[in-house]
Amino acid sequence: MNEILIYGDIGFEVQAKDIVNQLNDADGPVTVRVDSFGGDVYAGISILNALRRYPDVVTVYVDGMAASAASFIAVGGADRLIMSPNSSLLIHGAWSQGMGNSEEMAQLAADLNQITDNLATIYAEKTGQEPAYWRELMKKDTTFTAEQAVEAGLADAVDELEKSARAEKRHAVMSSGRSRFASHAGGRGVPEIETRAAAPPPRPVHRSGIGDEETTTPLAGRKGDAMSIQNLAQELGVEPDELRKKLSGFFNETVQVNTEIEISYPEDTQVVPTGKATITPVGDVPTGLTFTLGEVAEGWAAEVAEDTGVITVTAPNAEPGEQLALTVTVQSGEGEPTELTAGVTIKAAADDEGEPTSAEPAAPGTPGELAGDAVSLDRETYNELKAAAKFGWQAMERDKESKLVSEVDAWVKDGRISASLRGKAIAAMKRDPQIARDLYGSNPKDTVPRAELGYGVDDTADGEPGLPSLDDLFKRAEERRATHK
């Protein structure tokens, strides 16, 4: 199933390019799950338009909160918007923070009004209400419950959780046919006790002089007497052997409950030539299932765990692109068997970027040559190369972070931001350099004064009329020291 998560701040934890990449890789209907308090408005619009461009059906579920940018993504990007029980949707006007003179602040206010008008049309298109109606609600934070969102036309339905549906299904399965008495008690599996006619008076019991019982007539049912097959047969007026035969069928009766199989295997698992891969079923595997593997193509080796369904497959020394379809039969009790398919494809020993593949290496002694440009290394050399690569990556990350910090320090030096904002600017650079540069680095130089205000000596001035240079001041100081000797 194609499922995309929008969990977190949009433009920071959730990037538009990541959503676009997931949509490009998807095939068929897409499910999007949202739990976000919003974020960058233009990143949100990029995600919204990406969902609108997707050629198949897009169903959006609000799992917790869809606020601000997340709300218009959910409302405008979904072909069908489903609110989970107890979830919420919040709308408000666009907001920002900035600094500048009165003209710049007035322009910022105008931009925010324009953005808010634009967002109001998204809600209007979904609901049929005029944009002015939504513009009025967006003057403050307006929160809709799941039911209110459906009533307002922002959402299409409130979801009935699948877990509840499965529980009802299990209840129905267990309550139907639980025992042969189910039909007598409305499907509850508990028999109703019919009122028995008055029992006949007990027949007399004759005993011998030493106390041996001479007849098969039971005692008069005194409190504390033990029940036995013999006594019960006597009371019912049947032979003990006949009673045992009838009761054995009752006590040995079993109830067969068949469960619906809701598991599958990945459509395509990749493995390098002569490599080994493990394929795990997708979904919860209930107890009591039996897995059986069908025929395996020549050159391949595969086996399946009978109780868990985990497949272990070893590829032959073949060209990349060769495929294998494994058929696994799943049996649940005495029900009809179900056939599942797992696909395996041989890929090159290294990907396009030269990174080692994740497939397990073939066992020592496996016949066949190494494919392509693959190189065989001893374990010690391999571990050394891994450690060196990790060290190089860490060094690269430190260098990258150092450059980001240096760029922020340059903003402080140029007077683009104050020194008090340095920490926030560095944190923003680590999250998204481009947004940080737009927010902080785009300020004009000397927005925050760095030089002293008033008159003084400018050590950068060269021959400015009326002011001594720095060299002149040093020369005068030397002359005064020489005079006082």
Which has more pLDDT, 314 or 392?
314
Q: Where are the beta strands (DSSP E) in 106-160?
A: 142-145, 157-158
Q: Give dist(CA 200, CA 125) in Å, integer.
A: 83
How many residues make up the chain in this entry?
485
Cβ pair 91, 65 in contact under 8 A: no
The alpha carbon of 321 is separated from its chain's Cα centroid by a whole number of angstroms, namely 30
* Buried/exposed code over 434-465 (b: 16+ C-beta within 10 A; e: otherwise): ebbbebbbebeeeebeeeeeeeeeeeeeeeee
pLDDT digits (tens, 9 = 90+) for 75-94: 999 999 999 999 999 999 99
Q: Is 4 helix (H, G, I), strand (E, B) or coil?
A: strand
Based on the number of CB atoms within 10 Å of its own CB, is 139 exposed (0-12), middle (13-18) or buried (19 or more)? Answer: exposed
Cβ pair 300, 315 in contact under 8 A: yes
Q: For the chain, give the longest Cα–Cα distance.
A: 154
Q: Taking Cα atoms as reference points, which of 188, 149, 181 lies closest to residue 62? A: 149
Cβ pair 47, 21 in contact under 8 A: no
pLDDT digits (tens, 9 = 90+) for 297-316: 988 999 999 989 999 999 99
Question: What is the predicted pLDDT for the residue at 211?
Answer: 42
Confidence of residue 173 (pLDDT cuts 50, 70, 90): low
Q: Is 222 helix (H, G, I), strand (E, B) or coil?
A: coil
Cβ pair 333, 288 in contact under 8 A: yes
Q: Which two tokens stand for residue 137?
A: 């609600």
Cβ pair 22, 56 in contact under 8 A: no
Hey, which residues are catalytic here? 68, 92
Q: Which two tokens stand for residue 355?
A: 């990174």
pLDDT digits (tens, 9 = 90+) for 339-357: 899 999 998 875 444 444 4
Sketch out the chain's domains with CATH numbers.
2-162 (3.90.226.10), 269-346 (2.60.40.10), 385-441 (no CATH)
User: Helices 41-53 and 16-25, interaxial angle, to 10°?
Assistant: 10
Which has more pLDDT, 210 or 10?
10
Cβ pair 398, 299 in contact under 8 A: no
Question: With 80 as the cut, is the pLDDT of residue 20 above it?
Answer: yes
- Residue 345: count of CB within 10 angstroms of its CB: 15
Question: With 90 as the cut, is the pLDDT of residue 175 above it?
Answer: no
Question: With 80 as the cut, is the pLDDT of residue 261 above it?
Answer: no
Q: Which two tokens stand for residue 442?
A: 């785009």
* CA distances in angstroms from 390 to 196, 270, 355, 397, 403, listed in the order given: 84, 25, 13, 11, 20
Cβ pair 144, 154 in contact under 8 A: yes
Which has more pLDDT, 181 or 435?
435
For every residue of 377-425, DSSP letters joined together read: --HHHHHHHHHHHHHHHHHHHHHHHHHHHHHHHHHHHHTSS-GGGHHHH
Q: Give dist(CA 253, CA 243) in Å, integer.
A: 16
Question: What is the predicted pLDDT for the residue at 131?
Answer: 95
Which has more pLDDT, 102 or 334?
102
pLDDT digits (tens, 9 = 90+) for 36-59: 999 999 999 999 999 999 999 999
Backbone angles phi and psi of 386, in degrees to 5: -60, -45
Mean pLDDT of 270-296: 89
Measure CA of the first residue to CA of the last residue in the chain; give whole Å: 92
Confidence of residue 134 (pLDDT cuts 50, 70, 90): very high
Q: Taking Cα atoms as reference points, which of 107, 106, 133 lies closest to residue 120? A: 133
Mean pLDDT of 136-157: 95
Residue carrying the six token digits 């994740």: 358
Cβ pair 51, 59 in contact under 8 A: no
Mean pLDDT of 156-179: 62
pLDDT digits (tens, 9 = 90+) for 399-419: 889 999 999 999 898 888 888
465: Cβ contacts below 8 Å, ≥ 6 apart? none
20: Cβ contacts below 8 Å, ≥ 6 apart? 46, 50
Residue carrying the six token digits 């320090």: 409
For every residue of 427-472, DSSP letters joined together read: HHHHH-HHHHIIIIITSPTTSS--SPSSS---TT-SS-TTS--HHH
Q: Taking Cα atoms as reference points, which of 81, 91, 84, 15 lies closest to residue 50? A: 15
Question: With 80 as the cut, is the pLDDT of residue 484 above it?
Answer: no
The mean of the pLDDT values for the chain is 79
Q: Which two tokens stand for residue 358?
A: 């994740």
Q: Taking Cα atoms as reference points, which of 449, 469, 447, 450 lies closest to residue 458? A: 469
Q: Which two tokens stand for residue 200?
A: 């006949």
212: Cβ contacts below 8 Å, ≥ 6 apart? none
